[in-house]
Chain A
């Protein structure tokens, strides 16, 4: 079982990429096979598959196999961290602490 912070990080990270976000948004129109998604976007099939694997690892999409095709669909529960205040701020502060450290490196004593 992954802890909450780890799951949240995966969700935010997965959706931080514009291509993955586009694929994810595209799936909200309904279930789609990898080849459908490849046609919709100007990305190679291996790249689409890689993006889908990342989204799946973050719990944002589910898949099912039918014959030689793999179909992907949205997992609405995977969006929970996005509508949760604490996970929002957990990600916010992690990012800001990182920025604070970089700023301190560049500051005069």
Chain B
């Protein structure tokens, strides 16, 4: 099922997605918390130990201006129902939360990423980080354009 972007229009603090998966919560939880499976769909993880307060690293492909590392720390762990961790890239510090609820056919998931507001103004950083399809050339283009505008 297509994720529904439930971010309220006009606010600039958080992103929110709701989606339903045709799989039971225990299986979804496994995909959300198993390092091997995380590498399959999210990003490869380093020093990942599912314990509240522990830090770990997500490793995206490095690119100009970014070493590719996302620094994270477990904030909330409720087996098969809630998982929250900090998500820090450069100066952007956000929190990513997954909430799972069993349904008759599978699992309803709510994904929220909060903490954008203070950093929206430093938006130039956004172009540098993490968008894997963008090559170095485009970043050069963007930096040129920024000087002109």
C-alpha gap A90/B94 in the complex (Å) = 13
Most chain A C-beta atoms within 10 Å of own C-beta, residue among B94, B120, B127: B127
Q: Which residues of the partner chain B approach A104 to less than 8 Å between Cβ atoms? A: 21-23, 27-28, 31
Determine if B126 and A88 form an interchain contact, defined as CB atoms under 8 angstroms apart.
Answer: yes
Q: Which residues of the partner chain B approach A4 to less than 8 Å between Cβ atoms? A: 9
Determine if A97 and B9 form an interchain contact, defined as CB atoms under 8 angstroms apart.
Answer: no
What's the dominant secondary structure at chain B's contact region?
A: mixed
**Count class of interface residues, chain A:** 35 or more
C-alpha gap A96/B23 in the complex (Å) = 17
Confirm or deny: A15 has a beta carbon within 8 angstroms of a beta carbon on chain B: yes
Confirm or deny: B65 has a beta carbon within 8 angstroms of a beta carbon on chain A: no
Smallest CB separation, A6 vs chain B (Å): 10
Determine if A101 and B21 form an interchain contact, defined as CB atoms under 8 angstroms apart.
Answer: yes
Determine if A28 and B40 form an interchain contact, defined as CB atoms under 8 angstroms apart.
Answer: no
Closest B residue to A92 by beta carbon equals: B130
A-B contact count (CB 8 A): 109
Q: Which residues between 59 and 98 of chain A lie within 8 Å of chain B, taking CB atoms?
A: 74, 76, 79, 82-94, 96-98
Q: Given A86-B120, A103-B31, A97 and B133 touching (CB < 8 A)?
A: no
Confirm or deny: B48 has a beta carbon within 8 angstroms of a beta carbon on chain A: no
C-alpha gap A74/B138 in the complex (Å) = 13
Smallest CB separation, A78 vs chain B (Å): 10
C-alpha gap A94/B41 in the complex (Å) = 12
Smallest CB separation, A52 vs chain B (Å): 17
Q: Given A79-B145, A83-B127, A97 and B28 touching (CB < 8 A)?
A: no
Q: Which residues of the partner chain A approach B148 to less than 8 Å between Cβ atoms? A: 76
Confirm or deny: B119 has a beta carbon within 8 angstroms of a beta carbon on chain A: yes
Determine if A25 and B141 form an interchain contact, defined as CB atoms under 8 angstroms apart.
Answer: yes
Determine if B41 and A99 form an interchain contact, defined as CB atoms under 8 angstroms apart.
Answer: yes
Q: Given A28-B141, A99-B41, A94 and B3 touching (CB < 8 A)?
A: yes
Determine if B145 and A107 form an interchain contact, defined as CB atoms under 8 angstroms apart.
Answer: no
Confirm or deny: A39 has a beta carbon within 8 angstroms of a beta carbon on chain B: no
